[in-house]
Structure 1
């Protein structure tokens, strides 16, 4: 049976959500509407703070490993459109066994050393870095923090309008919070991950890396992620969903790769 909110709750919540939507709408590179409540300056500051915190928590890796990652990252970021307003990307390799990487607003790229055990060559590494830079190009950080801010605003309005107090009120707000988490925030994150896969695939192809290597990469990832949570409880698509999405995109990315190679873009990044 479908349940609806009481009318006394629907009205203030609807007004708040409409106000947020009208206040800040943007469009992703693939044409999807987004909520963006924060300015570029605010996002760059968040990126800088997050990168500084990561540097404090983990030791950096230099030498050949850093040079290799830097080489791949330089080729990828050379294809970033000028309107991104990032002229110089800072690249670091961190001593951590987890197969992880990230890119942040403001031009920061981090790669954990454990990823180099999974990404077997420059093309597979380019698939990861392209994906992470794709998040930045698609303004996903703004969308994520904006969605979380809007969700918290909505829950606060509900609590105030309903006069929820005491143990019963806390229990109901906990259930509403869980509903927001699994019904709003996580699905949004999966959409962002799939979108970053597509944007990143095009980006690596334009840089002269073979986009078909992304399939090999995620097959490697799948073999290392036994026991992962079901897709509906995860911020990421399942490995099989991700592989299928990349395969579907290859028809568009492969011509970009062939054109890049014909124009002389042939990265040669050595491990």
Structure 2
């Protein structure tokens, strides 16, 4: 009888979680996609602003080179002002972080975008920097953080339901079911992350070209990232980001789709 009750409780938890997730649907005005998110744009902005100082502290704070920091801001805002994102409700700001060793760039919900000094010093042109920042802008307007939070909550709830159904206090071996469920949930969320990265690459192709930068510079960024990883990233399915080498072909495809007659002359490299 106890097993049946546990199963019913687990089934109810899973059902409520799934219904809540699938009913929270909004259409993204920039991508046209139907997305499962359970927060407003205003909430995304507030969350990003609240988290920004703590995230900066993790990378040694803001970079002391004001000229370089201003260049990052200028290129970032140029990408915004020369695209339809200029009408976005998001509050974009671009930050150069002091960490000279870590090669990274990331975006918080709502428009707070960061690039480390370690990433910046590896880039060789404005076009490459525009590609990196355009990619991060893509994450924001595609609402990837809001999607990930909703998916993570669903995964957590379903994992909890699985643990309720399989756990037996009198049988320590039953804990293995909960561990397996947690691992599967983690891998599922990782796969969502890879899809988001590729979508942001496609959006960055559009943004860089609109702002006068050659989107082909993004392929050089991928080569730089591949070199920085030293080939030690491990199997791709265990990473949140696709292998940089594999992303190059996807970027080439996106460029061909955006410019079927060829990339215009005169764009900044």
Q: Same fold (TM over 0.5)?
A: yes
1:135 aligns with 2:136: no
Which residue of structure 2 lines up, in the alignment, with residue 24 of structure 1? Answer: 24
Give 1:200's match in structure 2, choosing from 196, 199, 204.
204
The 1:37/1:179 distance shift into structure 2, 3 A limit, reads: same
Residue 171 of structure 1: aligned partner: 176
CA shift for structure 1 position 139: 0.4
Equivalent residues in 2 for 1:102-113, closer than 5 Å: 102-113=106-117
Query: Structure 1 150/204 Cα, relative in aligned 2: closer, same or farther at 3 Å?
Result: same
Q: How many residues align?
A: 256
Q: Is 1:84 matched with 2:105?
A: no
C-alpha displacement of 1:220: 1.8
Indicate if the aligned counterparts of 2:226 and 2:244 stay in contact, CA closer than 8 A. Answer: yes
TM-aligned CA distance change 1:162 to 1:224, over 3 Å: closer
Deviations, residues 151-179 of structure 1 (Å, cap 9, x unaligned): 11111222334454463343321111001
SS in structure 2 at match of 1:110:
strand
Change over 3 Å in CA distance of 1:209–1:223 after alignment to 2: same
Aligned to 2:48: 47
Of 151, 157, 169, the match for 1:153: 157
Q: CA deviation at 1:195?
A: 0.5
* TM-score computed with the length of structure 2 as normaliser: 0.84
Rounded Cα–Cα distance in structure 2 between residues aligned with 1:10 and 1:244: 43
Aligned mate of 1:239, from 244, 247, 250: 244
The alignment status of 1:209 with 2:210, answered yes or no, reads no
**Conservation of the 8 A alpha-carbon contact between 2:36 and 2:150:** yes
Q: Deviations over 1:215-243 (max 9, x none)?
A: 11111221221211111101011122200
| Structure 1 portions without partners, runs of 5+ | 1-6
User: Is the 8 Å Cα contact of residues 10 and 161 (structure 2) preserved in structure 1?
Assistant: no
Alpha carbons of 1:18 and 1:106: their partners in 2 closer, same or farther (altered >3 Å)? closer
Structure 1 Cα separation of the partners of residues 242 and 264 of structure 2 = 28
- In structure 2, relative to structure 1, the CA distance for the partners of 1:163 and 1:99 (3 Å cut) is closer
